[in-house]
A = this chain, B = another copy of it.
Amino acid sequence: MACGPDPARNLRSALAGIGRAAARGAQVICLPELFRTQYFCQEADADNFDLAESIPGPTTSALSAAARKHCAVIVAGIFERRAAGVFHNTAVVIDADGSLIGTYRKMHIPDDPLYCEKFYFTPGDLGFRVFPTRFGRIAPLICWDQWFPEAARLATLAGAEFLIYPTAIGWHPSEVESQGAVQREAWSVVQRAHAIANGVFVAAINRVGAERTLDASESRPANYRGLHFWGRSFVCDPLGAILGEAGESEQLVVAVCDRDEIERTRRDWPFLRDRRIDSYRQMTERSLE
């Protein structure tokens, strides 16, 4: 989905999308990262903390009502205010009866030009979590987490059937021509690989559209004049095969995920059987150099 400057309108738009997805039979419905706002992290501005809210709070209330109404599980990204000076980039899981059963706080926090997330978000302290819902065991992860095989693996070991990544990733407009295709392909490949290596379904839900920084004047370096979110939300199966994929504009992707595929795939490719757990201790090191 595209996210505009008005949080109320973004919520209405999301609820309408949830309704359309439910009408097409969706049982698990996912919204992008921080879907209520534009991607304010393009700049470090303390006033943006006003955009945060508590969990549970107004957004989870609205989503709970929608989940109950449509008998669907909902996964969504929320800017969470936990305490004064402690804010998180969070995903919630709401079960089909409307109950808020899961909170995941983004563990891997980026900080790159126009992605000033370390300014806003305290790194998550809940670890990698799996929530049993009416329609499957879901591990919510968020955006930058998608580049870390450790996150996918730990969620899998904890029993995940679905890794779901609410996302806000885009191009620096100045790089689209030279690197756009390679960057987007890398983003898709690394997530499909999580599905393959772990024998799980993966879904990534990205925002779309251009959002400019407040100060997008020509005097800024080209890399600081806004982001073009590339969409391309997708769902893939445990072999990494794409089951459904969006384009670069607002779009609903509905995919059928047969959970028996997990059992079948892992019997053929039993990677979890052969992990050398006696030799992974140094995964907790920063560097071995």
CA distance A270 to B111 in the complex (A): 9
- State the oligomeric state as a number of copies: 2
**Chain B residue at smallest Cβ distance from A159:** B289
CA distance A197 to B241 in the complex (A): 19
Number of interface residues of A (CB under 8 A): 55
CA distance A289 to B147 in the complex (A): 24
- Contacting residues of chain A (160-191) with chain B, CB-CB under 8 angstroms: 182-183, 185-186, 189-190
Q: Least Cβ distance of A40 to chain B in Å?
A: 20
Q: Least Cβ distance of A179 to chain B in Å?
A: 8
A19: chain B residues at CB < 8 Å are: none
Q: Least Cβ distance of A273 to chain B in Å?
A: 8
| A108-B274 in contact given A150-B283, A192-B193, A284-B280 (Cβ < 8 Å) | yes
Q: Least Cβ distance of A275 to chain B in Å?
A: 7
**Chain B residue at smallest Cβ distance from A198:** B149
- Contacting residues of chain A (107-132) with chain B, CB-CB under 8 angstroms: 107-112, 123, 127-128
Interface CB pairs A-B, < 8 A, 7: A111-B274, A127-B279, A150-B275, A157-B282, A186-B241, A189-B193, A189-B196
Where the two chains meet, the residues of A that have a C-beta atom closer than 8 Å to any C-beta of B are 107-112, 123, 127-128, 144, 147-150, 152-154, 157-159, 182-183, 185-186, 189-190, 192-194, 196-197, 239-241, 268-272, 274-289
